[in-house]
Amino acid sequence: MLQATPSRAAAPTLPLARAPAQTSTDTPQAQRLQRLLARPMRNLCLSWNEDLAMLTLRMNVRPVQCYSLAALAELKLALDEISACPGVVRHFVVASGTPKVFNFGGDLALFVLLARSRDVDSLKMYGRRCIDLLWWLETAADRGILTTAVVQGDCLGGGLETLLPVHRVIAERSAQAGFPEVLFNLFPGMGAWHFTPRKAGLAAANEMILSGQIYSADDLRQRGLVDEVVEDGAGEAAVLAGIRQIDPRWRGTVKALQARRMASPVSYEALTDVVDHWAESALNLTDRDLRLMERLVRAQVRKIGGHDEGAIEEIKRIELEQAWATARSVSAAATPGSPAFTGTRPATPSAWLA
């Protein structure tokens, strides 16, 4: 059993089952997954349970546990590799490697830089990278994969949006989550308006998105956004127990979840339309709104012990340069007649995420 280790120490992973003496490593797909597991990553830690065909992904992003462009690039790489190994992964678990924080969501430091420079193309590019993550989770059953998330600690904005298309969500008692974007005159633009009504109903979605309120794990359970609440420290055991229980019914459950999605479909185009609206709305933020976002970034850094504000701004600039360089290389390699990467929607979602 191989495990990728990030460049910094990560939190302990979900317990790994002992692999059988003969493992299914002789297929090209299994070998490809092994190479992914052995690949060092800066923001992710992957672990594999051979007995359950369960891949666990933990995010451990610094200086802030959020969806930075660098983290999104690694997520894209990992999810593409999983998709290229059909039949190898049956269960996919999303967790955190940062104590007391599941995910703070959107990269507020980057948003401030882009809003102040009125760089709507980069805002749209960032938003679509987030949408591709949610779209992979939304369509996981079509790949024969059941998804589970374990929430330990704070889960805000885009972090909560990540949970919405996940098949089963387990939260520890002290976890809390919400959509605080309205407090700085923005809104959650990466799936909240599509997926929250599907799980909790339109009235609950209106309340959660428009109030900016933070909810306890029990509140989220009552609204249908969390499937099970367990005591602190019991989340990982609950994940394993749930997967062991459902694994014998894996094939039937996959088909049932495919049918559920057919009954309540969400399209990729609808998600990206809202992302574009979100990006354009960000240009209307006032200096007061942006200063409030900066205050939230400093609070997030204090919580996880990240770098100072100046270092964060420089990190964001570097990540943005790298993201656009990659995007332009994809555009240059595109087939004749495909749209250039200038802020317009490409023919396929993957074109935004190379």
Q: Report which secondary-structure segment, H or E, holds 290.
A: helix 287-304
In this predicted model, what pLDDT tens digit does every residue of 188-211 receive, in sequence order? 999 999 999 999 999 999 999 999
In a domain, 85, yes or no: yes
Tokens at 251, concatenated: 């094939």
Residue 132 has pLDDT above 50, yes or no: yes
Total domains in the chain come to 1
**pLDDT value at position 126?**
97
Q: What is the pLDDT of residues 237-284, one digit of tens each?
A: 999 999 999 999 999 999 999 999 999 999 999 999 999 999 999 999
Residue 63 has pLDDT above 90, yes or no: no
* Domain-embedded: residue 298: yes
Q: Specify the CATH number for the domain of residue 255.
A: 3.90.226.10
Domain that holds residue 196: 32-329
Higher pLDDT, 262 or 344: 262
| pLDDT for the residue 302 | 81
pLDDT over threshold 60, residue 336: no
| Residue-averaged pLDDT of the chain | 86
* Strand 228-230 relative to strand 91-96, pairing: unpaired
> Ramachandran region of residue 191, left (φ > 0), alpha (ψ -120 to 50) or beta?
left
Q: Is residue 354 part of a domain?
A: no
Residue 349 lies in a domain: no
Q: Are strands 91-96 and 101-103 parallel, antiparallel or unpaired?
A: unpaired
Model confidence at 170: pLDDT above 90: yes
Assess if residue 347 is contained within a domain: no
State the pLDDT at residue 300: 86
How confident is the model at residue 334, as a pLDDT? 59
Q: Classify residue 344: in a domain, yes or no.
A: no
Judged against a pLDDT cut of 80, whether residue 19 lies above it is answered with: no
Looking at the predicted structure, is the pLDDT value of residue 23 above 90?
no
Q: Specify the pLDDT at position 318.
A: 62
Has residue 205 been placed in a domain?
A: yes
More confident residue, 141 or 333: 141
Q: Is residue 337 part of a domain?
A: no
* pLDDT for residue 326: 77
The CA distance from 177 to 62, in Å, is 20
Tens digit of each residue's pLDDT (9 = 90 or more) over 86-118: 999 999 999 999 999 999 999 999 999 999 999
Model pTM? Answer: 0.82
Q: How many CA atoms lie within 13 A of 145 on its CB side?
A: 27
Q: State the pLDDT at residue 337.
A: 44
pLDDT category at 299 given cuts 50, 70, 90 is confident
**pLDDT on residue 313:** 55
At 340, the pLDDT band (50, 70, 90 cuts) reads very low
Q: How confident is the model at residue 311 (pLDDT cuts 50, 70, 90)?
A: very low
Residue 180: cis peptide before it, omega within 30 degrees of 0: no
